[in-house]
Structure 1
Amino acid sequence: MYQRVRTREDAPAPEAGTLEVAVLDMNHGWPNLGHAAVVRSLRQVVCDLRSTLADADLRVRVSSYDVRRGSGPPAVGADDGLLCVGTGGPGHLDPRRNDGCDPGSQGITEDPAWEPDVFRCFDALRAHPEGVLLGICHSFGIMCRWLGVADAHLRGPEKGGKSAGIMENALTPATRTHPWFRFLSQQAGVSQRIAVLDSRLYDLLPHDELPATVTAIAHETLGVGGPIGPALTMLEVERDPADGMPRILGVNHHPEIVNRPRQLALLRRRHAAGKIDDRWYEERRHTLMEALDDRNGEQQLALTSSFSLHGPLRYHLLRRLRLTAEALGRPWPLHERTTPLAMIASGEVLSLDELGAAL
Structure 2
Amino acid sequence: MSTDKPEVRVAILDLYEGVANEGMRGFRDILDRYKAQHGLELSYQIFDVRLKGQVPDTGFDVYISSGGPGSPLDSEGTEWEKKYFRLMDKLEAHNKKEGTQKKHVFFVCHSFQLMCRKYNLGDINLRRSPSFGILPVHLTEAGRNEPVFEGLVDPFYTVDSRSWQVINPNTERFAELGMEILALEKERPHVNLPRAVMAIRFNEYFFATQFHPEADASGIKNMLLREDKKDEVIAEHGEGKYREMLERLEDPDKIVHTQNTIIPNFLDEAILKYQEYYSNLS
TM-score higher than 0.5: yes
Task: Write the distance in 2 (CA, Å) between the matches of 1:120 and 1:182.
Answer: 29
- Give, in whole Å, the separation in 1 of the partners of 2:261 and 2:38: 20
Q: 1:70 aligns with which of 52, 65, 76?
A: 52
Aligned equivalents of 1:125, 1:233: Cα separation in 2: 23
Q: Which residue number in structure 2 is paired with residue 216 of structure 1?
A: 181
CA separation of 1:179/1:217 partners in 2, compared to 1, >3 Å: closer, same or farther?
Answer: closer
Give the match for residue 119 of structure 1.
85
User: TM-score under structure 1 normalisation?
Assistant: 0.62
**Does residue 136 of the first structure (1) align with residue 103 of the second (2)?**
no
Offset, 1:70: 2.7
* Structure 1: 5+ residue stretches without partners: 1-16, 54-58, 98-110, 240-246, 272-276, 330-359
Bigger Rg, which one: 1
Q: Is 1:164 aligned to residue 146 of structure 2? A: no
Give the 3-state SS of the residue equivalent to 1:93 in structure 2.
coil
* Aligned-partner SS, 2:254: helix
Amino acid at match of 2:159: L
1:37 to 6, 11, 26: 26
Residue 237 (structure 1) aligned with residue 195 (structure 2): no
Cα-to-partner distance string for 1:302-330 (whole Å, 9 max, x where unaligned): 44445532311243234334544664x5x
1:1-359 maps to which residues of 2 (within 5 A)? 18-50=7-39, 53=40, 59-77=41-59, 82-96=61-75, 112-129=78-95, 130-156=102-128, 161-176=129-144, 178-180=145-147, 183=150, 187-188=153-154, 193-206=155-168, 208-209=170-171, 210-212=173-175, 213-223=178-188, 229-239=194-204, 247-258=205-216, 260-261=217-218, 264=221, 279=228, 291-294=245-248, 298-324=252-278, 327=281, 329=282
Displacement after TM superposition at 1:76 (Å): 1.1
Give the percent of matched residue pairs that are identical in Structure 1 and Structure 2: 23
Question: Residues 84 and 92 (structure 1 numbering): CA distance in 2 closer, same or farther, change over 3 Å?
Answer: same
Q: Return the alpha-carbon distance in structure 2 between the equivalents of residues 19 and 182 of structure 1.
A: 23
1:41–1:203 CA distance, 2 compared to 1 (3 A): same
Over 3 Å counting, the alpha-carbon distance change for 1:224 and 1:138 in structure 2 is farther
Q: What's the C-alpha RMSD, in Å, of the aligned pairs?
A: 3.5
The amino acid that maps onto 1:230 is R
Equivalent residue number for residue 236 of structure 2: none
Question: Can you list the C-alpha shifts for 1:143-168, whole angstroms capped at 9, x where unaligned?
Answer: 11221212321011xxxx11111222
CA distance in 2, matches of 1:116, 1:311: 30
Within 2, Cα distance between the matches of 1:224 and 1:164? 19
Give the superposition deviation at 1:21.
Answer: 0.5
Unaligned runs of 5+ in 2: 1-5, 96-101, 234-238
Query: Equivalent residue for 1:332?
Result: none
TM-score, normalising length from structure 2? 0.78
1:207 deviation in Å? 5.1
